[in-house]
Structures are given as C-alpha cells and as structure tokens.
Amino acid sequence: MKKGFILKRLIFAGPLALGLFFAAAPLATHAQTASNPQFLITWKAADSYVPPSYVGKALPSYGSKITASLELVTQGKILNIQSQTIYWYLDDNLIGGGEGIQSITFPPVGTPPDSLVLKVELPDYAGGYLSHTINIPFVTPRAVIYAPFPSSTFSTNPVMVDVLPYFFNVLSPANLSYAWAVNGQTGGGAENPTEAQITLPSGTPAGTSIAVSVTVENPLGSTVAAANENLIYQNQL
C-alpha cells in the first residue's frame, strides 16, 4: 500500500441522505366504468440491492428478475378473475399467461437505461376485451461516494469516505469488489473495502484538492459502476 492512502473496514451506514432517489412507480390504473374495471398492476425487482437508507423503489438492472401481479377492482372491491384467461407481454412479446395467471416473473431484456413495456390483457372478459400497459424502468447499476462535508470541504486528517452501491444484482454489498484511487494513487487489500481512509501528508496546505474515485464491480454479473468526488482540504483553525 502506498503512503497516504489506507483502506479500512466499514460498518455499513444506514440513515444517509444521498440525493439519489427514484420515485416509486405508481400503480397502473385503467379508467373505471360499469363494465370496465380498474387495473392494479404492481411489480418488484428481485435481488436489486439498495442501501438501507434508500426510500425509493429497487429498480431492475442486469440479472434482476421482475415479478408483476394483477388485480381488477370495481367499486372498491377486488374481482375474482381466477377463471379469466390472462396474457402477459413484454415489449409486445408474449411471455406467459393462461387461466388465472395473475402474476408472472421474467428477466428484463434490452440494454439499460431503458423502459420496459409490460402489457396484460384479458381477451374474454365478460364486459369486453380488456388490456393495460405500464412502463418499468430498467437501469444500470450506480455507485455514490458518500462524503458528508459542507461544500465538499473537510478539515480532519485522516478523513473517511465510503461508497454506496445501487441496483446491483446482489443480496449484499459484500458480494461486490471495490477499487479506490486518490489523486490517481490506488489502494487495496482491505478486509471490507467499502470505505477509504485518506491520510494527507503533514503540512498539506489549505485549499488542496483531493480527487477520490472508486470502481464497484459485480464479479459474477460482470456489471461495473464508477463514482468520483472532489474534496477540498481546509486546515483546522
């Protein structure tokens, strides 16, 4: 390990505000009439990791599977559609269906960032043919360097920063690998290198810029995300 840059073990932080938020996708709806009930389509992505502090919806990325479910509602009551024929389409390609198939699990297709078009249809509904379509965001994994300093300035030496991964197809950040660099100087070999300790040489002048970068990789899924942060050192008065 080179002088001035040490990786140390991180106790993974929870309640951190990062500014990286995606609004949870709303339930899909269909205009309701006496013969045309309301569609309620929900979905979730399996194995799409997000930090505990994240309050948005876990979005699918490479390797994530999506489970979608359907209910029909009229006048506030859920209808029994177990005897209905239900077909599911992804980007206009039939991916499954049959009598009473109200949920389906499928892998996303295409190249993120993109939007997946999921359609469900009931061709033999008593009130007439029914169908509805929703869009599901399909994203690339993200990485965010968490450095909670006002205006990116810090005065402690050494200083600690950590990285938070988003939307990797893993159950835990421990399943990912991390490569840090500070001003082009690399470090490694830590037991759990999701945090970097940056130690500045004695006499470092105020106003010194510190360029921090990290690359996060899923070795099994061959997905990579990178993040960069520029920090400014200010001497303690």
As a whole number of angstroms, the distance between CA 201 and CA 224 comes to 32
Q: What are phi and psi for residue 151, nearest 5 degrees?
A: 55, 25
As a whole number of angstroms, the distance between CA 223 and CA 169 comes to 9
Q: What 3-state DSSP class applies to 81?
A: coil
- Helix, strand and coil percent figures for the chain, each rounded to 5: 5, 50, 50
Contact 232, 208 (CB under 8 A): yes
**Residue 11: its pLDDT value, please?**
30
How would you classify the pairing of strands 65-74 and 77-78? antiparallel
**Residue 2: its pLDDT value, please?**
38
Q: What 3-state DSSP class applies to 175?
A: helix
**Residue 91: its pLDDT value, please?**
93
Q: What are phi and psi for residue 173, nearest 5 degrees?
A: -65, -15
How would you classify the pairing of strands 153-154 and 223-233? parallel
**Residue 127: its pLDDT value, please?**
80
**Residue 35: its pLDDT value, please?**
58
Give all domains of the chain, ordered by start, each with its CATH number: 5-17+141-233 (2.60.40.10), 38-138 (2.60.40)
pLDDT tens digit at each of 237 positions of the chain: 433 443 333 333 333 333 333 333 333 434 444 457 999 999 999 889 999 999 999 999 988 999 999 999 999 999 999 999 999 999 999 999 999 999 999 999 888 888 999 999 999 998 889 999 999 999 999 999 998 888 899 998 888 899 999 999 999 999 999 999 999 888 755 666 889 888 898 888 999 999 999 999 999 878 999 999 999 998 765
